[in-house]
Amino acid sequence: MRSYNYKNKWQKLLTPEIVCLLTQIHEYKGEQNLFIEAKADTLTQLVEIAKIQSTEASNKIEGIYTSNDRLKSLVFNKTLPRTRNEQEIAGYRDVLSTIHESHDFIPVKPSIILQLHRDLYKFSGKSIGGSYKGSDNVIAEEDSEGNKHIRFQPVPAWETPVAMEAICDAFDEILAQSDADPLLIIPMFILDFLCIHPFNDGNGRMSRLLTLLLLYRAGYIVGKYISIEKLIEETKETYYEALANSSANWHEEKNDYIPFVQYMLGVVVAAYRDFLSRVKHIATSNMSKPERIRAIIQDTLGKITKTEIMEKCPDISQVTIQRTLNELVTSGEVLKIGGGRYTAYMWNYDKENEK
């Protein structure tokens, strides 16, 4: 049986690239606290957007979908789930809300993880919710020709309860007895969780919920305002590649945590950058709403969609954004690219150079 001990492992992760990411996140955390204190009321709009995006993205990675209108209604608890997919989406919504509201009171214990998994499936009626896997499982993948092969063999079912106790104890012990940075230990813990693969279903979604929980408990609450799950979904090929690289030789205790840790830290950095960018636009009180929209497009390299502008400025109505976009396109300052659902906008640098 593999031993779980982070004591002699985290120092090996301190590569120049990872140290650079840690430094950035530590700096962002200080700015995060200042912004949250100053703009608490305004940031509630970012929380609502992040809830929708997180619920959608984490389920989408696992092939669980519903329509945009149904998704929003489910996230804000305005309707009951109708399908199996919607039952699982509603379960994710509730666990996410629990973590948002009560993270300080949710310790990292096997019994707690089982409770969160139970709630993930509370609308589905599945008996698997809140129970470890009853039989051995495998992590398989399918190639371009439709051939399936085993990518990773998790720990056997009989070993799962002991393994979960061990990683939770190891996590608590390393943070209590050393100067290890939680930002290093959290992705190590998540990788081990995924390699144990303790449940018959829901392991991926649980790993992302646990990532948020552990980050929040360590004081890094950016995932409440910017969807970390969406950032993972948008880079899922890189996510799976990092996971595969870091899980190789895991059973022999010779795996390299660096690829997965570096990937996850990169996601957190991206979330903080997005957070600070959005807060900057929200907090710009000396500019009119059309001026803020204009500034966002001008500051964006490449294309930006109306949806992305709405996400950056949740306090500006869709009508105002569309009217401003029409005016900017008519004046020639902004170029309209594509049409219909694929419409995007881009700053017209040629027009700027004519002045």
Whether residue 4 lies inside any domain: the answer is: no
Confidence band, pLDDT 50/70/90 cuts, at residue 352: low
Which pLDDT belongs to residue 346? 93
Q: For residue 186, which of 34, 18, 1, 16 has the smallest C-alpha distance?
A: 18
Q: What is the 3-state secondary structure (H, E, C) of 97-140?
A: HHHHHHHHHCCCCHHHHHHHHHHHCCCCCCCCCCCCCCCCCCEE
Mean pLDDT of the chain: 90
- Tally of structural domains, the chain: 2
Which pLDDT belongs to residue 299? 84
Which pLDDT belongs to residue 255? 96
Same-domain check for residues 274 and 131: yes
Angle in degrees, CA 232, 196, 162, rounded to 5? 140
**pLDDT greater at residue 100 or residue 299:** 100
**pLDDT greater at residue 111 or residue 288:** 111
Which pLDDT belongs to residue 314? 76
Burial of 165 (0-12, 13-18, 19+ CB in 10 A): middle
Same-domain check for residues 326 and 273: no
Same-domain check for residues 275 and 322: no
Same-domain check for residues 304 and 261: no
Which pLDDT belongs to residue 37? 66
Residues, the chain, total? 355
Residue 236 has pLDDT above 70, yes or no: yes
Return d(Cα 296, Cα 319) in angstroms, integer.
Answer: 17
**pLDDT greater at residue 203 or residue 278:** 203
Whether residue 102 lies inside any domain: the answer is: yes
> Residue 96, CB half-sphere, CA atoms under 13 Å: how many?
30
The SS3 call for residue 141 is strand
Same-domain check for residues 332 and 240: no
Return d(Cα 19, Cα 25) in angstroms, integer.
Answer: 10
Which pLDDT belongs to residue 3? 86
Q: How do residues 133-184 score in pLDDT, each as one tens digit?
A: 999 998 877 766 777 778 889 999 999 999 999 999 999 999 998 789 999 9
Q: Average pLDDT in the 264-281 region?
A: 89
Which pLDDT belongs to residue 295? 87
Return d(Cα 306, Cα 321) in angstroms, integer.
Answer: 7
DSSP state of 316: S
Which pLDDT belongs to residue 151? 82
Same-domain check for residues 265 and 350: no
Same-domain check for residues 174 and 269: yes
Whether residue 91 lies inside any domain: the answer is: yes
Whether residue 263 lies inside any domain: the answer is: yes
Q: How do residues 313-327 score in pLDDT, each as one tens digit?
A: 777 888 999 999 999
Q: What is the pTM of this model?
A: 0.85
Among the three residues 236, 263, 281, which one is the final residue of a domain in this structure? Answer: 281
Same-domain check for residues 81 and 19: yes
**Which residue has tokens 């957070």?**
275
Same-domain check for residues 154 and 31: yes
Whether residue 5 lies inside any domain: the answer is: no
Q: Average pLDDT in the 74-102 region?
A: 94
Q: Average pLDDT in the 108-135 region?
A: 94
Q: Average pLDDT in the 188-206 region?
A: 97
Q: For residue 324, which of 339, 338, 334, 337 has the smallest C-alpha distance?
A: 334
Same-domain check for residues 253 and 347: no
Same-domain check for residues 188 and 173: yes
Which pLDDT belongs to residue 46? 85
- Evaluated on CA atoms 44, 48, 49, 54, the torsion sign reads positive
Whether residue 1 lies inside any domain: the answer is: no
Among the three residues 281, 297, 322, which one is the final residue of a domain in this structure? Answer: 281
CATH assignment of the domain containing 65: 1.10.3290.10
CB 91 within 8 A of CB 119: yes
Same-domain check for residues 261 and 336: no
CATH assignment of the domain containing 311: 1.10.10.10
Which pLDDT belongs to residue 31? 80
Residue 118 has pLDDT above 90, yes or no: yes
Among the three residues 266, 281, 296, which one is the final residue of a domain in this structure? Answer: 281
Whether residue 159 lies inside any domain: the answer is: yes
Q: In which domain, by residue range, is 84 found?
A: 10-281
**pLDDT greater at residue 37 or residue 210:** 210
Q: Average pLDDT in the 192-208 region?
A: 97
Q: Tell me the DSSP string of 5-27.
A: --TTTGGGG--HHHHHHHHHHHH
Residue 285 has pLDDT above 70, yes or no: no
Return d(Cα 148, Cα 143) in angstroms, integer.
Answer: 7
Whether residue 319 lies inside any domain: the answer is: yes
Q: How do residues 30-72 score in pLDDT, each as one tens digit?
A: 887 777 766 666 688 788 889 999 999 999 999 999 998 999 9
